Structure 1
Amino acid sequence: MNKVILTGGSSGIGKAINIFLLEKGYEVLFTYCHSKESAQEIENQFPNAKAYQIDFTSESEMAGFSAEIEAFSPDILINNYYNGTFIDTYFHKTESEKILNDFKNNIIPTLQITQECIKIFRKKKEGRIINILTSSMQSPAMGTSVYNSNKAYLLQMSKSWALENVKFGITCNSISPSFIPTDFHKDMDERMKETILSGYPLKENLESKDISNVIDLCLNGGKHFNGNHIFLDASHY
């Protein structure tokens, strides 16, 4: 198994995962929306990388990507994409339209992509699904209700994917990293970042290599390593 679909692979955690896989020799078809320069740099550096620009809110672009998935015939799917904000506002101040739009823009595309990949995996009698979630689900910060609820939805879905597909040689595992500063958190108050770090047992930020090590486990842990939800948080909570 060496062909990977990686959503959101040109920045942040996704970029780190992407480079890890490419350096290991995997062939990676990764998506991006706005980070064109970064995506091109990755393609230029690695001949086994293929960038695919897509707006997941566009039905026509999603249809095109589904055809691309079928042509690529992946062995591995890593769901990392998320387009939204980590910290927004208090739940009671959150407009219902915001809740609905974030779900439609993030969760529905992830479900559709996973469905397409599972169909291919079942024909091959093998496959790997890895979902990048968040340890914030376990101890949420104020203002993160929409983000955390979307990630929690994917966690529950991943349990079904693991159960329904294991007899076809397909495993599904989820990884919930602790806070790691990326472009996703660029609008976050620096004092809040310092507060999070000060309360963390190791007093140091998680690094991309820590996530990559667990990615490797999910890929190569065998058919019995299935249905796991791994917290990368130094037993913080």
Structure 2
Amino acid sequence: MLKGKTAVITGASRGIGREIALRFAAHGADIAAIYCGSRQAAEELCEQIRALGRKVLPYQCDVSDWENVKETVGKIQSDFDGIDILVNNAGITIDRLVPQMKEEDFERVLNVNLKGAFHMIRQTYMLFARKRAGRIINISSASGLVGSAGQANYSSAKAGLIGLTKSVARELAGRNVTCNAIAPGLIDTAMTREMNGQARERMENAIPMKRMGKPEDVANLAVFLASDLSGYITGEVIRVDGGLCM
């Protein structure tokens, strides 16, 4: 489905981003894997993708830093023959109730989760517009649709990402470039495994399907949105949440 395409994926070394990178590669895409933390995790991902016969290179980048993003996208352009797909998945959480949330905690989450996506889109926007083709996929969250207690910063960032998705979709629709958002619910990743056991059980019970999702549930949708099959879909926010927000 993605043969001959090059995909840039932020937050690619773990969780949902890692699964998206692997699924894209399995469907024929070459991967520019952007990570911020563990070089070892990024290299392990690259080894798996190379085993699938695809080209892959890791790039360490703080997406909240405009100059860092500009430099990284420039390197990707010189290393690959163009960019066809952008997946904005990089994200962090710093959870606290509003009275305990520091201003820098609020700003840091918005800078990575929302501003980081803006930086990546801004840096690749004209590449897509000039070639009159491209797919942009933003990984939002169910928290951006309904809000989550203790996550005012995260929910604000993910809601803002939905607004960014719709604005970019309108701007680029005439250039045959689509921009859509995926809103995962409770997904079984390293981050959710760190949750308090009782809190996790309460959340699972609130899901109509009575179970957590898997990273591949999100990745499978991302493959579809990145492919030619989704060419007439843009500006959409698609939930992958087991019915949590219906």
What TM-score results when the alignment is normalised by the length of structure 1?
A: 0.91
Q: Which residue of 1 aligns with 2:87?
A: 78
Q: Return the offset for 1:224.
A: 1.4
Distance 1:172 1:49, change over 3 A: same
Give structure 1 stretches of 5+ with no counterpart.
none
User: Is 1:236 aligned to 2:239, yes or no?
Assistant: no
User: Is 1:35 aligned to 2:38, yes or no?
Assistant: yes
User: Is 1:223 aligned to 2:231, yes or no?
Assistant: yes
CA distance in 1, matches of 2:13, 2:220: 19
Q: Return the offset for 1:163.
A: 0.7
User: Is 1:7 aligned to 2:10, yes or no?
Assistant: yes
Asked if the contact 1:11–1:35 (Cα under 8 Å) also holds between the matched residues in 2, the reply is no
Task: Write out per-residue CA displacement over residues 89-133 of structure 1, whole angstroms, 9 at most, x where no aligned residue.
Answer: 112332223222322333223211111211101111100000111
Q: Which residue of 2 aligns with 1:205?
A: 212
Output the amino acid matched with 1:212: A
Task: Write out per-residue CA displacement over residues 125-176 of structure 1, whole angstroms, 9 at most, x where no aligned residue.
Answer: 1000001111122333310111010011111011011111011110011110
CA distance in 1, matches of 2:70, 2:174: 29
Distance 1:164 1:60, change over 3 A: closer
Output the amino acid matched with 1:169: N
Distance 1:164 1:55, change over 3 A: closer
User: Is 1:125 aligned to 2:132, yes or no?
Assistant: yes
Q: Return the offset for 1:228.
A: 0.9
Q: How much identity, in percent, do the aligned residues show?
A: 26
Output the amino acid matched with 1:27: D
Task: Write out per-residue CA displacement over residues 28-69 of structure 1, whole angstroms, 9 at most, x where no aligned residue.
Answer: 101112222221112223232211112335555333213124
Asked if the contact 2:92–2:112 (Cα under 8 Å) also holds between the matched residues in 1, the reply is yes
Output the amino acid matched with 1:4: A
Q: Which residue of 2 aligns with 1:89?
A: 96
Asked if the contact 1:22–1:28 (Cα under 8 Å) also holds between the matched residues in 2, the reply is yes
Number of residue equivalences: 235
Output the amino acid matched with 1:216: V
Q: Which residue of 2 aligns with 1:100?
A: 107
User: Is 1:142 aligned to 2:145, yes or no?
Assistant: no
Output the amino acid matched with 1:79: N
Asked if the contact 1:7–1:30 (Cα under 8 Å) also holds between the matched residues in 2, the reply is yes
CA distance in 1, matches of 2:222, 2:66: 30
Q: Return the offset for 1:186.
A: 4.7
Distance 1:201 1:22, change over 3 A: same
What TM-score results when the alignment is normalised by the length of structure 2?
A: 0.88
CA distance in 1, matches of 2:230, 2:63: 32
Cα-Cα RMSD: 1.8
> Helix, strand or coil: the match of 1:102?
helix
Give structure 2 stretches of 5+ with no counterpart.
none
Distance 1:202 1:186, change over 3 A: closer
Q: Which moved more, 1:109-118 or 1:152-161?
A: 109-118
